[in-house]
Amino acid sequence: MQHNGKLKWVFMRWVTLLGLILTLGTTASVRAQESILIGLDADMSSGAAISGEAIRRGAMLAIEEINQSGGVLGKTLKLEPFDHRGNPARGRDNIEILGARKEVVAIIGGIHTPVAMNEIQSIHKHGVIYLGAWAAGTAIVDNGNTPNYVFRVSVRDEYAGSFLVKEALGSGYKRIGMLLERTGWGRSNESAIKSAAEKNRMEVTGVQWIHWGTTSVSNELDALLKKGADVIMLVANSQEGAVAVEEMARVPAEKRRPILSHWGIMGGEFFNIIGWGTLSKVDLRILQTITFYPPHNNKVLSHLLDRYLRKYSDTPDFSRIAAPDGVAHAYDLVHLLALAIKKAGTTDRRHVRDALENLPEFEGVMRRYAPAFTPTRHDALSMEDYILARFTSTGSIQPFPK
């Protein structure tokens, strides 16, 4: 009898333990359901990892702010980062994984137009909202899908080309040489710059192409200079951009030409690769949408910067925040998504997508969105939101003086 009693006691302990496990599992499941998931698909570990981390930080600051105010529809927001490492196939796989999870209402996209372009089909197959925070290719938004699930707070190459040409013309330059990476992003900018140059009666003296991972562009640069280019327009990421600027610095001073660069160089370790000693020899001007260089007259921006510095102690001051565009774009995108979810009254992707096209006015870091998107316009920023910036000797960036 004592033996049977002991067996019964052991059995009851196991039943109790099993019940506790099931209860904890159920509680965890309920908690997971209480969160609205936002995916992040960006370069988190490769050559443009700085951009991915900037986007992650901007998104997290917005998420924490929203959650501290009660969340959305009684639920908290949660970010799930995925690393595409600049690889289009990996990016598509990330979209397939995140898109198949119905609790993921939207995915924030990172740098690299070739990655984003390779993801368009999967985005629309799953009907998952894609919020572009960096990649600038025109066709990412103008992708031909109806309904269109891609929305962007970032640069648009069509506008970037016009902006760079306008800035070159305003500085007295008339003969453009293009040094472009051989990708969809480079081709997008070739079309935009040529179109803008023709409208402004400027001459394109030549186009030279560079590959990812190249260690020399001396032949390409020499070809553009020999054809009489008085300004070079550079479309490249940080590593290849550093090669181009280093080789311009080696050109005899009287033959050097200014470089107007798209913003791809800001997504990686450009300044650390090249150093101020070399950079100071070149007139480099970079397209940006924002800098965090003081003074800050925007109350929303001041609020964001205060929270950023309190949360991320690895940054000494406002001006040293890496890839400020990525931080600001992601911050605004998360707030706009939260507004859309509230307006839709549901996390159903189709209804949230519709709500994004019909948002109320919103005061963001980048601008006052009035509204951010419409049924015929999924790019929230225009050419009027772009600026030219330059590096300082400490590696921060500041607006280029007019």
Q: Are 267 and 194 part of one and the same domain?
A: yes
Count of helices and strands (H, E) across the chain: 13, 14
Position 60 in a domain: yes
Residue 78 sits at the vertex; the CA angle it makes with 264 and 132, to the nearest 5 degrees, is: 25
Answer yes or no: do 163 and 283 share one domain: yes
Helix, strand, coil tally for the chain in percent (to 5)? 50, 20, 30
Q: Is 314 exposed, middle or buried (0-12, 13-18, 19+ CB in 10 A)?
A: exposed
End-to-end CA distance of the chain: 95
User: Which of 288, 310, 335 is where one domain is finished?
Assistant: 288
Domain annotation covers residue 387: no
Return the ∠ at Cα 74 (arms to 72 and 80), rounded to 5°.
55
Question: How confident is the model over 310-366, as pLDDT tens digits?
Answer: 999 998 888 889 999 999 999 999 999 999 999 999 999 999 999 999 999 999 999
Confidence of residue 402 (pLDDT cuts 50, 70, 90): confident
DSSP characters for 259-293? Answer: EEE-GGGGGTTHHHHHHHHHHTTS-EEEEES---P
CA distance 170 to 363: 31
Among 265, 288, 311, the domain boundary falls at 288
Same domain, 166 and 261: yes
Query: Do the domain assignments include residue 395?
Result: no
Q: Is residue 234 a contact partner of residue 260, using CB atoms and an 8 Å limit?
A: yes
Same structural domain for residues 150 and 176?
no
265: domain CATH number is 3.40.50.2300
52 and 139: one domain? yes
Q: Is residue 271 part of a domain?
A: yes
Q: How many domains does the chain have?
A: 2
- pLDDT-based confidence at 17, cuts 50/70/90? very low
Residue 25 within any structural domain of the chain: no
Instruction: Please tell me whether residues 129 and 242 are part of one structural domain.
Output: no
138 with 222, same domain: the answer is no
Distance CA 233, CA 207 (A): 10
Which of residues 233, 261, 288 is at a domain's end? Answer: 288
With a cut of 90, say whether residue 28 has pLDDT above it.
Answer: no
User: What is the mean pLDDT of the segment spanning 260-267?
Assistant: 95
Q: What is the pLDDT of residue 33?
A: 53
Do 108 and 205 reside in the same domain of the chain?
no
**Residue 21: pLDDT band with limits 50, 70, 90:** very low
Strand order in the sheet with 35-42: 76-83, 35-42, 104-109, 129-132, 150-152
**For residue 342, what are the domain limits?**
36-155+297-381
Q: Give yes or no: residues 144 and 49 share one domain.
A: yes
260 and 371 in a single domain? The answer is: no
Q: For residue 13, is it within any domain?
A: no
Whether residue 252 lies inside any domain: the answer is yes
- pLDDT of the residue at 320: 86
Whether residues 58 and 119 share a domain: the answer is yes
| Same domain (yes/no): 306, 220 | no
What would the pLDDT profile of 97-128 be if each residue is shown by its tens digit? 999 999 999 999 999 999 999 999 999 999 99
Give domain status of residue 194, yes or no.
yes
Backbone Cα Rg of the chain: 24
Q: Which band of pLDDT confidence, cut at 50, 70 and 90, is reported for residue 229? A: very high
Q: How confident is the model at residue 296 (pLDDT cuts 50, 70, 90)?
A: confident
